[in-house]
């Protein structure tokens, strides 16, 4: 395993122990509502994914929650009737999904693995892939799109959240203090910085790699929206720093 991947695995295990936001499992009431047909999930910080991005009926649909551990998206979709598999680098994040499944009597599968390596799955296995903002933790995003396209069924849907790389232009400490100072270039890598244990290494990918990377992998962008941190970051005053895409794998006619 590459050094930065192992670093991030340990960082996310630690984040679970610290109970940070993206490791907090959904509550029992959320699952009960999903069983009754009232559900929603997010793949960015604040906005929810439009329901029309999903099949009208989830019952029996095979869904892969890609780099999506934490007991959030996977259990909700399982409660809504989907056949859910969650893959994540962090075993402790996957424990959150198993915790909700056991607590609420859900069936879902968890697999520990890296998002750019889906060799555990056959070609054209899944009807839907849900990929929340997480490819910020891989150095090269294109293999993620390639693997997602491979395991997605023809006419299947990939729902992805990702960062607008503009977020990584600025000095992080000064941005937290309300000052925007451009110090980085895109693509961005925190490998060049002194990242402490427990702090995940992040990568700011170009929009070309995020969007054309999907189309190069055989997907067609069918819908799009923007999001941010809900005003919790200084840069939110000026631009949306997250985006989500709905992409469809269409059969290629030669």
Rounded distance, CA 77 to CA 225, Å? 21
Mean pLDDT, the chain, as a whole number? 95
In this prediction, residue 252 carries a pLDDT of 66
In a domain, 172, yes or no: no
**Residues paired with residue 170 on neighbouring β-strands, in sequence order:** 182
pLDDT band per the 50, 70, 90 thresholds, residue 188:
very high
**Residue 56's domain is classified under what CATH number?**
3.40.50.150
Please state the domain count of the chain. Answer: 1
pLDDT of 253 over the 60 cut: no
Q: In whole angstroms, what is the distance from residue 68 CA to residue 71 CA? A: 8
The answer to whether residue 107 is domain-embedded is yes
What is each CA distance from 41 to 47, 73, 89, in whole angstroms?
Answer: 9, 6, 21
Mean pLDDT across 165-170: 96
Question: In which residue are the tokens 């069936």 written?
Answer: 107
Instruction: Give the tokens for residue 200.
Output: 């995940």
- CA 98, CA 90: separation in Å to the nearest integer? 13
Decide if 111 contacts 86 (C-beta within 8 A).
yes
Strands 62-66, 83-88: pairing is: parallel
Domain that holds residue 227: 3-163+206-233+241-249
- On whether residue 201 sits in a domain, the answer given is no
pLDDT above 90 covers a percentage of the chain that reads 92
């Amino acid at each position: 395993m590459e050094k930065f991947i192992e670093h991030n695995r340990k960082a996310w295990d630690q984040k679970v122990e610290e109970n940070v936001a993206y490791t907090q499992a959904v509550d029992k009431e959320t699952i009960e509502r999903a069983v009754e047909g009232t559900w929603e999930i997010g793949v960015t910080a604040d906005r929810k994914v439009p329901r029309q991005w999903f099949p009208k009926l989830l019952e029996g649909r095979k869904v892969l929650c890609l780099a999506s551990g934490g007991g959030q998206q996977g259990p909700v979709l399982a409660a809504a009737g989907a056949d859910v598999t969650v893959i994540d680098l962090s075993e402790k994040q996957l424990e959150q999904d198993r915790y909700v499944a056991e607590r609420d009597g859900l069936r879902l599968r968890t697999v520990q693995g890296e998002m750019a390596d889906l060799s555990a799955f056959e070609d054209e296995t899944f009807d839907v892939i849900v990929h929340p903002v997480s490819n910020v933790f891989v150095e090269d995003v294109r293999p993620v799109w390639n693997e997602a396209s491979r395991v997605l069924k023809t006419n299947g849907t990939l729902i992805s959240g990702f960062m607008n790389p503009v977020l990584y232009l600025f000095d992080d400490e000064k941005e937290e203090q309300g000052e925007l100072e451009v110090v980085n270039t895109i693509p961005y890598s925190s490998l060049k910085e002194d990242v402490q244990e427990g702090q995940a290494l992040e990568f700011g990918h170009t929009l070309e790699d995020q969007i054309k990377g999907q189309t190069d992998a055989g997907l067609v962008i069918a819908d799009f929206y923007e999001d941010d941190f809900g005003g919790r970051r200084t840069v939110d005053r000026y631009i949306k720093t997250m985006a989500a895409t709905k992409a469809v794998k269409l059969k290629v006619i030669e």
